[in-house]
Amino acid sequence: MEKIDNLMKLLNPSIKENIYENYSFKPSNLKEYIGQKNVKETLNNYISASKKRNTVFPHTILCGESGLGKSVLAKIIANELGVKFIECIASDLENINDVKNRLRLVNGGIFFQDEIHSMSRTLCENIYPLMEFKCNGLAIKPFTLIGATTEIGELQETRKPFYNRFRLPLELVEYSESELIEIGKQYVQKVFPGDELIDEMYMVLASNCRGNPRSMIRLLDATVYFDGKVLEVLDSFNIIKHGYTKKDLKVLEYITLNENGVGLNGLANYLGTSASNYMYEIEPFLLRNGLVVRTAKGRRITDLGIEVLEDLKNVRR
């Protein structure tokens, strides 16, 4: 994106730096950041204490499903502390020199690694001294490592010593519908100030985005481009009701037909997707809402799942 921006400026020097500023919005401080009350209270205390004592902010782990705002929070922490911020996807770090080079650039600020569970075990072990502000036996400038992960269990199971070096673990949870509505209104006001959506639209979208701000923003964008036709937006995303999709319906129907349980590979093959895609993109919502359970013999539908299945079948638009 940066290369494209620079090319555009060469072709048209009159283009201003903020040409794209209205195409997106992300909160830049804790006051603007909506939701995650417990996490924000904790961060406020730690940020205030770090400033008061002039100490480095502790290494921090942010965990939670994709789209809950982990990357935004990491940037906000840097903004609140007034320090440099560098980010990368952990899997892009090939060796310890890649880490050291970024630490030189961040100069005592915040080094943010997204998907930190994807970092190799060897590299994790090589980072231990750096997290204690030592390199080859010599002291280095203190910095803050913030890692974000959707797989905290994997990190704890396979890289426990690495995980234990993070002094501040923070878990982001799904958002309430009222918080999502507030996020949605804030976003539209910043990005689409000339468009007005009625409260009912926000309510429908909030009840169908699975408690996830990123999904809420995606649905809002579509609603603006669909000129407020919310039901058409839901249809375009294959959403039936309460965030459940046509693919969820297929899962529930298939499991119902197999009373003895359904294996992971069988489900993935039936849906025409990979096992990992089913595990991480489809099943979590069904498990969290108690519609499906995992057993020794495979996935089985619950009584609640049967009720929801019948409800989804009866939806007509």
| pLDDT, tens only, 194-244 | 998 999 999 999 999 999 999 999 999 999 999 999 999 999 999 999 999
Confidence tier at 23 by pLDDT (50, 70, 90): low
Q: How many C-alpha atoms does 186 have within 13 Å on its Cβ side?
A: 17
| pLDDT, tens only, 246-257 | 999 999 999 999
Question: Matching CATH topology for 2-171 and 244-313?
Answer: no
Share above pLDDT 70 across residues of the chain, in percent, rounded to a whole number: 92
| pLDDT, tens only, 47-69 | 999 999 999 999 999 999 999 99
Model confidence at 4: pLDDT above 80: no
Kindly report the pTM of this predicted structure: 0.86
Contacts of 259 (CB under 8 A, 6+ apart): 300
Q: Which of 28-37, 100-109, 242-251, 273-282 has the lowest mean pLDDT?
A: 273-282
Contacts of 72 (CB under 8 A, 6+ apart): 26, 27, 33
Helix, strand, coil % (nearest 5) of the chain? Answer: 55, 15, 35
Domain limits, the chain: 2-171, 177-237, 244-313
- Which CATH code, of 1.10.10.10, 1.10.1040.10, 2.40.30.10, 1.20.200.10, is assigned to 244-313? 1.10.10.10
Model confidence at 119: pLDDT above 70: yes
The CATH classification number of 2-171 equals 3.40.50.300
Q: Which residues in 215-249 are b (16+ Cβ under 10 Å) and which e?
A: bbbbbbebbeeeeeebeebbeeeebbbebbbebbb
